[in-house]
Amino acid sequence: MRKIELYDTTLRDGAQSEDISFSVEDKLRITERLDDLGIHYIEGGWPGANPRDAEFFELVKKLKLRNAALAAFGATHRAKIKVHQDPSIKALLKAETPVVTIVGKTWDFHVREALRVSLETNLELIFNTITYLKKKVGKVFFDAEHFFDGYKAHPEYALKALEAAVSAGADCLVLCDSNGGTMPHEVEKIIKDISSANGRSPLHQIPLGIHTHNDSECAVANSVIAVKNGVTQVQGTINGLGERCGNANLISVIPNLKLKLKLDCITDSNLKKLKDVSRFVTEIANLRHFKRQPYVGDSAFAHKGGIHVSAILRHPETYEHIRPDLVGNYQRVLISDLGGRSNIIKKIKEFKLKVDPDSPKVSQIVDELKELENQGFQFEGAEASFELLIKKTFGLHRKFFRLKGFRVIVEKRKEGEYPISEATIMIETPHGEEHTAATGSGPVNALDNALRKALEQFYPQLKEVKLIDYKVRVLTAGKGTATNVRVLIESSDGKHKWGTVGVSENIIEASWQALVDSIEYKLLRR
């Protein structure tokens, strides 16, 4: 089996994403997770480019990496400075990494317009830089910047740039689609052209790598087709983070290589960590998880249509291209009016409810579900509310309190000041009637505070519950133009998360429904 090396550049290319700012501690934590995943090379950044990267390369020396070799990234030395005098080259050596990756120009247009040096001088910069570093560093990789664009414009010069790197002793030639505009068929043709020229040039002496950007949505495809044509090193980032539209997404590249092409890149046990690593980096980057991300997204193996669900219950491969557990994911059956009995039965098993799946009440739930969704309810993000619906239908629900009434007042006393929100609530509990009031930062928060104030003395476990997300959507549902508001609430007790939903023409009433479901779900779990 051909061995493929994985080169992660999340800490440099990924950090160039809009809205991304990794701290030094973030970079160290990500490095440890990438090493645990089995990544072969981790590019830590550009030493000397900024204080943060300089600090990272000092602190990362204390980490005991088991699988990965750390790489420092830099460019060819400046034309007017000798290579051993260039501060950026000195910073690379100071990082003391076992691998250095040097980026150099291979597109004649860039040499003239960006570097503003002669074509011959650029070749000397490549040769001098790599020759010097090879005397001091274990491995030197050459990132052939804009190689595909350069080859299409001036193939002879692009090949000369590669040959300069080979002559200097580079350990790998990484072909870069820096603008992200090359199509897969072009990548395939150009790599085949290089391979056919190997007998007439020194290129056959050295492994090839691929580094693609996603500006035309082809980064993963270009990486895979490059490997199919002999490339042995794939560069990319976790979740496709990167400048502009991002880099090749290693979270998709890895299972494509491992499961589809049957190539050796990481172990089976490490492949199971893929979803966890993806979500870890997303959290560190302070981004929302992409539900529809292939392989690891929450929706990647989610099934909604009744026919689909009926089929996967018999044979999952009918609508799943791999077993989700291979990449650390799992199958989900969504509840909606597109589903049928199969969806309900599957959810009953997931909820571990001791009810008869052949009961006529299953059909009753299907009918009720379709009516509720017609009103605007949505249970795909509110499975706690759906579990309560099933329990109510089968007589497994317990009422912990009963509402006798509430009132919410919003008062703005002065121009320029925030309004004051106050909620008064009256409920009946097994211990008697409770009448409480509370203020909040808004009417829903005030209502939540009042309800908790009334209940926590009887149910202290509710102190663990925090509202961690609150979404409101105005929608048109049902007949005519009747407009309802849907409120989705996500709650957590520090160990579990659950979603609940409410729908009404009144946002306070919709919020109340979702709040009550959230509290009842917590109490029923106990």
Output the domain CATH number for residue 41.
3.20.20.70
Decide which of 228, 251, 266 is a domain's last residue.
266
Same domain, yes or no, for 27 and 138? yes
- Kindly state whether residue 294 falls inside one of the protein's structural domains: no
Same domain, yes or no, for 249 and 365? no
Block residue for tokens 């491995």 = 139
- Kindly state whether residue 197 falls inside one of the protein's structural domains: yes
Decide which of 266, 289, 310 is a domain's last residue.
266
Q: Are 207 and 226 in contact (CB under 8 A)?
A: no
Same domain, yes or no, for 127 and 139? yes
Mapping DSSP to helix (H, G, I), strand (E, B) and coil, where does residue 301 land?
A: coil
The number of CA neighbours under 13 Å toward the Cβ of 154 is 16
User: What string of pLDDT tens digits covers the 526 residues of the chain?
Assistant: 679 999 999 999 999 999 899 999 999 999 999 999 999 999 999 997 888 999 999 999 999 999 999 999 999 999 999 999 999 999 999 999 999 999 999 999 999 999 999 999 999 999 999 999 999 999 999 999 999 999 999 999 999 999 999 999 999 999 999 999 999 999 999 999 988 755 455 567 799 999 999 999 999 999 999 999 999 999 999 999 999 999 999 999 999 999 999 999 999 999 999 998 998 898 888 887 898 999 999 889 888 766 676 777 677 777 789 999 999 988 877 665 555 676 788 778 878 888 888 888 888 888 888 788 778 887 867 889 989 999 999 988 888 999 999 999 999 888 888 899 999 999 998 888 989 999 998 999 999 999 999 999 999 999 999 888 888 888 764 544 457 788 989 898 988 889 899 999 889 999 999 999 999 999 988 7
Q: Residue 73: which of 211, 208, 204, 180 has the closest Cα? A: 211
505 class by beta-carbon count within 10 Å (0-12 exposed, 13-18 middle, 19+ buried): exposed
Same domain, yes or no, for 66 and 189? yes
- Kindly state whether residue 424 falls inside one of the protein's structural domains: yes
Same domain, yes or no, for 429 and 520? no
Same domain, yes or no, for 365 and 246? no
Same domain, yes or no, for 114 and 67? yes
Question: pTM of whole model > 0.75?
Answer: no
- Kindly state whether residue 329 falls inside one of the protein's structural domains: no
Mapping DSSP to helix (H, G, I), strand (E, B) and coil, where does residue 495 land?
A: coil
Decide which of 247, 266, 285 is a domain's last residue.
266
Same domain, yes or no, for 390 and 437? no
The parent domain of residue 484 ranges over 359-398+463-526
- Kindly state whether residue 346 falls inside one of the protein's structural domains: no
Same domain, yes or no, for 195 and 182? yes
Same domain, yes or no, for 54 and 83? yes
CATH of the domain at 436: 3.30.160.740
How many whole angstroms separate alpha carbon 52 and alpha carbon 369?
53
